A and B are shown apart, each in its own frame.
Chain A
């Protein structure tokens, strides 16, 4: 109840301060503007971007099979593709969408199936044995009149054995799947180049028949503008800066001006104080995120529409970071220290959590660090919700964020010191 009163008071106080409103909106919009401008031109090199996912990995030593590597080398040797390899354990479309995010462009994915090498070798062997059989058979047809009966039966036995043997070779064709976006104007060119490389590869191996089966699948690149991909990250980063920097600064300012002292002289509890402030920042964040995304629609042609999951995550993320801010301001004395400490925590976290640059293209140690940063989960969750519309990817992040939110609020009310020395 008192938390609600505190919420109403600080909220009103905030809403009436024009500078607060101005900076809270200006900051993320500027970021959006900067990133939008930087990346809108990149990625238009003369090579065709092609994602390749090699699923043909040797079980024993976890290395890709020689033939699949040779095939990728063959693709590379054409110098027409800019190839991005997708790790085997990733969801190919999501991964490609993510990397494409900042760069823009269409999604083209070639998947080398598991067993590519095996199937290719078997296929080649079967074709070779078949060719040998047919050659022998034809030869037999020519020479039959001149053979003795025993020679004939030996020949026929040999042919029969050969046929039997060939039947034991699995009749698999090594498969390649190419996924292209029908809306992609370069799709047919890319497809024909890949196909011709595959057949060249065929000839190289056996000289003739197709042992590589070529499958096509169509994918739809979700038509987001470049800026769209920054929306989840910027929203997450902005929730964080509001919690860690802005809320810490306002509460430290309240402390400096003796407002907290005045309130601490009443029956108000620390938990009520913390919850009231967290609530206020959370509502502000929801509003500001709404304003930001709306601005994105109007100014940057953003197409992202936040769904219920995104809103829930923004809510939980705000609670978490505001709780963190309250925990920080619990032991920070002055406003300068508050903003210094807030910045020192917020900025590295912003860049190490994949909010601006996809984690996938970061060094692996960054990926490891990112797992320890709460922002990662908000950003990841929002990405899954806003861009991929993939609820499964949201849940786990949401649970982590919710747990951290409760933890920070409790820590916040425990470390808040009201007594003077």
Chain B
């Protein structure tokens, strides 16, 4: 585990009566992709913007790269060393991709070669395209490029794929995976379960201003994800009731599949043996729990595509 680059200690942000961030503590380590996963209004942006020195905190402590976000001399140092893709990133409409990236680059004493950054984000075809003519996915990629151009030690990406179509989303994922390969430290926020699971080394599940769970996706899954599920395709009620006599956790899903929760390999073989006895010859598959199951377990809800908690 690398050294600590972000340290939040009992961080609080209050808007009048609302506790937008409610005593949260966590750390981000060098070289990892850290994700905040939570529904809209969970307090992701608020936390991240406190760390970016964009919003004042109500109480608690936050240090970024060893600097205190509340001290103005430290803020200058932080700004030199971080790269940010804000939520709803926007650039100057009439400037080209290259000009916009260069504009952000020129705000720093040093910056990477603009063409290199453009190549890294696969924007070569669009260098001279005006920002206003780009699709949402390409705009986000310009935003990521702008976040990278100063060669920052820490990159914040606030909801980098919200509003993108699946293809564009996967393109941005590829970019983030590439950053990880380059050894960058990335602090990501998202409301997409899959995004957190695919990209993050560690995930903090955040809801109503509190961190509900934090850890590597696999750890969280084994801790909260529950059992694996054996799915018997094209089963029926009869089969389900037959199995129910022998096993506790049997259900039918909407597609008419029979689902049996299993504790271990032994139980798997026992179910298979039962199926053989009953002379049932159907496709069988094993489903492993996901972050979604973890989230459901912890919060009792799921996050919709739009980011709402249900």
Contact = CB atoms under 8 A, between A and B. Distances in A.
Instruction: Report whether chain A binds chain B.
Output: yes
Interface of A: 2, 5, 9-10, 12-14, 16-17, 257-259, 261-268, 418-421
A162 B110 CA distance: 101
B127 interface: no
Contacts of A263: 104, 107
A13 B96 CA distance: 10
A420 B49 contact: yes
A268 B92 CA distance: 16
A266 B102 CA distance: 13
A387 to B, nearest CB: 38
A266 B103 CA distance: 11
A13 to B, nearest CB: 5
B90 A257 contact: yes
B171 to A, nearest CB: 21
Given A12-B99, A17-B94, A266 B52 contact: no
A2 B102 CA distance: 12
Given A13-B95, A261-B86, 10 more contacts: A9-B92, A9-B103, A262-B90, A262-B146, A263-B104, A265-B86, A266-B108, A267-B76, A267-B107, A419-B56
Given A2-B106, A267-B80, A261 B54 contact: yes
A335 to B, nearest CB: 14
B86 A258 contact: yes
27 contacts: A2-B106, A5-B103, A9-B92, A9-B95, A9-B103, A12-B95, A12-B99, A13-B94, A13-B95, A14-B94, A16-B94, A16-B130, A17-B94, A258-B88, A259-B92, A261-B54, A262-B91, A263-B107, A265-B79, A265-B86, A267-B79, A267-B108, A268-B107, A418-B54, A419-B54, A420-B49, A421-B55
B90 A259 contact: yes
Interface residues of B, number: 30
Contacts, number: 70
B55 A258 contact: no
Given A5-B107, A9-B99, A265 B52 contact: yes
A418 B52 CA distance: 12
B92 A10 contact: yes
Contacts of A17: 93-94
Nearest to A261: B86
Interface string B245-257: 0000000000000
A388 to B, nearest CB: 42
A266 B90 contact: no
Nearest to A16: B94
Interface of chain B, main secondary structure: loop
Contact of A13 (B49, B86, B93): B93
Contact of A12 (B55, B90, B94): B94
B207 interface: no
A420 B90 contact: no
A259 B52 CA distance: 16
Nearest to B94: A16
A420 B20 CA distance: 14
A5 B54 contact: no
Contacts of A266: 79, 104, 107-108, 150
B204 to A, nearest CB: 22
Contacts of A259: 90-92
A251 B71 CA distance: 28
Contacts of A257: 90
A2 B49 CA distance: 23
Contacts of B196: none
A262 B104 contact: yes
Contacts of B91: 259, 262
A376 B291 CA distance: 67
A328 B146 CA distance: 29
Given A2-B106, A420-B55, A262 B94 contact: no
Nearest to B103: A9
Nearest to A420: B55
Given A262-B91, A421-B15, A2 B107 contact: yes
